[in-house]
Amino acid sequence: MTDFFKNIPAIKYEGPNSTNEFAFRHYNPDEVILGKRMEDHLRFAAAYWHSFAWPGTDPFGGQTLERAWFGDTMAHAKLKADVAFEMFDILGVPFYAFHDADARPEGKTFAESLRNLEEIVDYLGVKQSTHKTQLLWGTANLFSHRRWMSGAATNPDPDVYAFAAATVKSCMDATMKLGGQNYVLWGGREGYETLLNTDMKAERDHAGRFLQQVVEYKYKIGFKGAILIEPKPQEPSKHQYDYDVATVYGFLKDFGLEKEVQTNIEQGHAILAGHSFEHEIATAAALGIFGSIDMNRNDYQSGWDTDQFPNNHAEKAVAFYEILRAGGYKTGGTNFDAKIRRQSLDPEDLILAHVGGMDTCARALKSAMALMQSGEMEAARNTRYAGWNTAAAKSMLTGSLDAAAARVPAENLDPQPISGRQERLENLWNRFV
Ligand code: XUL
Ligand code: CO
Q: How many CB atoms are closer than 10 A to CB 58?
A: 11
Out of 102, 173, 244, 337, the active site residue is 102
- Strands 36-37, 32-33: parallel, antiparallel or unpaired by DSSP? antiparallel
Provide CB contacts within 8 A for 252, sequence distance 6+: 211, 229, 258, 260, 261, 289
Give 267 Cα–ligand 2 centroid separation in angstroms.
9
Q: Is the pTM of this model over 0.85?
A: yes
> Over its length of 433 residues, how does the chain's per-residue pLDDT go in tens digits?
999 999 999 999 999 999 999 999 999 999 999 899 999 999 999 999 999 999 999 999 999 999 999 999 999 999 999 999 999 999 999 999 999 999 999 999 999 999 999 999 999 999 999 999 999 999 999 999 999 999 999 999 999 999 999 999 999 999 999 999 999 999 999 999 999 999 999 999 999 999 999 999 999 999 999 999 999 999 999 999 999 999 999 999 999 999 999 999 999 999 999 999 999 999 999 999 999 999 999 988 888 899 999 999 999 999 999 999 999 999 999 999 999 999 999 999 999 999 999 999 999 999 999 999 999 999 999 999 999 999 999 999 999 999 999 999 999 999 999 999 999 999 999 999 9
Give 390 Cα–ligand 2 centroid separation in angstroms.
44
Among candidate residues 98, 180, 176, the one with its CA nearest the CA of residue 139: 98
Per-domain residue ranges of the chain: 12-374, 392-432
* Residue 269 known to be catalytic: no
* Residue 102 known to be catalytic: yes
Q: Whose CA is nearest to atom 8 of ligand 1?
A: 337
Distances (CA, A) of 197 to 147, 179, 235, 243, 246: 17, 41, 18, 20, 26
Q: Whose CA is nearest to atom 5 of ligand 1?
A: 186
Out of 26, 99, 269, 354, the active site residue is 99
Q: Counting ligands in written order, which one lies closest to the CA of residue 49?
A: 1
Give 223 Cα–ligand 2 centroid separation in angstroms.
22
Per CATH, the homologous superfamily of domain 12-374 is: Divalent-metal-dependent TIM barrel enzymes (3.20.20.150)
Bridge partners of 44, per DSSP, are 334
Provide CB contacts within 8 A for 233, sequence distance 6+: 239, 240, 243, 244, 269, 272, 273, 274
